[in-house]
Amino acid sequence: MGHDGEDVTGSGLDRLASVNLNLLVPLLALLEECSVTRAAQRVGLSQPAMSHALTRMRRLLGDDLVVRQGAGVTLTPRAQELIAPLRSALQQTAHIVNFPSFDPATDQRVITIAMTNSTAFVLGPRLARLIAEHAPRATLRIRTITVPTEATFTDKGVDVVLISEGHYSPYPRERLYDDRIVVVASPDTPPDANALDLLTTQPHIVVDTDGRVFPYAVLEEKGIPYRVGQLVSDFLLVPFLVARAGGVALFRYQVAATMLTLADLRIEEFPFPLPGLGIDMVWNPRLADQHFIEWLRALLFDVATGL
């Protein structure tokens, strides 16, 4: 019987005596990293020791946990279900034995943030500087994405995803910073030409996609004539080419403003109303370390405040 008269026999607790609980920490590392090598490095085991632990975990749980898929590995459905409760249980255990909460000064984790390359262009340098300053033993991993899928928010150890407000998320989101579309042009364009003049007289540099970038639908609805002079597959090349080769483009203001540090650009407001293009934070729903979440959330807002 327990201290309060609770019968622990048959509750499952009595069976823990036969389980090697030391397997749980490497198990969580394996599930979060989805890599035997990275998990071994994270918990300080050799790769053969980690592989042996994986064999024991599979036997204990009656599940493969990770299976090879192409050049990499993927988690089984059972393994995906284990991440949140296992992380929560280990966090609670750490509190019970009075381990200190997340300490950025000493923590050696890999901080993984997914975002588009244009968002990384805007935030990456300041983000890297602040993490190096406040969490000097941590490693920042930036995963560049295009259009997020549901797996983007949970796979490959991602802590938080930064996405445009126009992209769908199955999980709660919070605005990090606002952005908007502007007209960017070469500094050599006529100084008395307004934004509409630039759009109708200068050749456009456009991202080469299957569908037209959405501001162009507004121009077409209003009957504004324009001519495409260049098609470019890399989004970040557009403002650089405008600055160095001439022409005009429709672009995010924050990216264009950041590009000003590398090349001279003329930036004008888009002449018609458009929906916003704010950047939102979406946290991995499996991430249970609230001390870490609160710290990284505050740091991201600090980064955005500097824009």
The CATH number of whichever domain residue 17 belongs to comes to: 1.10.10.10
3-state DSSP helix/strand/coil % of the chain, to nearest 5: 45, 20, 40
Same domain, 217 and 80: no
Q: Quote the CA–CA distance of 42 and 40 in Å, as a whole number.
A: 5
Residue 104 lies in a domain: no
Same domain, 221 and 238: yes
Same domain, 77 and 188: no
The CATH number of whichever domain residue 286 belongs to comes to: 3.40.190.10
Same domain, 144 and 282: yes
Q: Quote the CA–CA distance of 249 and 276 in Å, as a whole number.
A: 18
- Whether the model clears a pTM of 0.75, i.e. scores above it, the answer is no
Residue 96 lies in a domain: no
pLDDT at 8: 44
User: Three-class SS of residue 42?
Assistant: helix
Residue 105 lies in a domain: no
Same domain, 54 and 133: no
pLDDT band, very low/low/confident/very high, at 7 (cuts 50, 70, 90):
very low
Sole residue written with tokens 């807002």: 301
Same domain, 218 and 160: no
Q: Which two tokens stand for residue 196?
A: 């509409």
Same domain, 83 and 154: no
Mean pLDDT of all residues in 277-306: 91
Domain of residue 235, residue span: 181-269
Residue 100 lies in a domain: no
Same domain, 191 and 161: no
How many domains does the chain fold into? 3
Same domain, 162 and 294: yes
Residue 99 lies in a domain: no
Residue 247 lies in a domain: yes
Indicate the range of 55-59, 88-92, 144-148, 220-224 predicted with least confidence: 88-92
Going by C-alpha positions, the residue among 120, 193, 111, 199 that lies closest to residue 159 is: 111
Residue 225 lies in a domain: yes
Mean pLDDT of all residues in 202-217: 84
268/72: higher pLDDT:
268
Sole residue written with tokens 């300053």: 133
State the CB neighbour count (10 A cutoff) for residue 214.
13
Same domain, 44 and 81: yes
pLDDT tops 50 at residue 2: no
Residue 97 lies in a domain: no
8/50: higher pLDDT:
50
Same domain, 141 and 283: yes
Same domain, 120 and 160: yes
> To the nearest whole number, what is the mean pLDDT of the chain?
87
pLDDT band, very low/low/confident/very high, at 9 (cuts 50, 70, 90):
very low
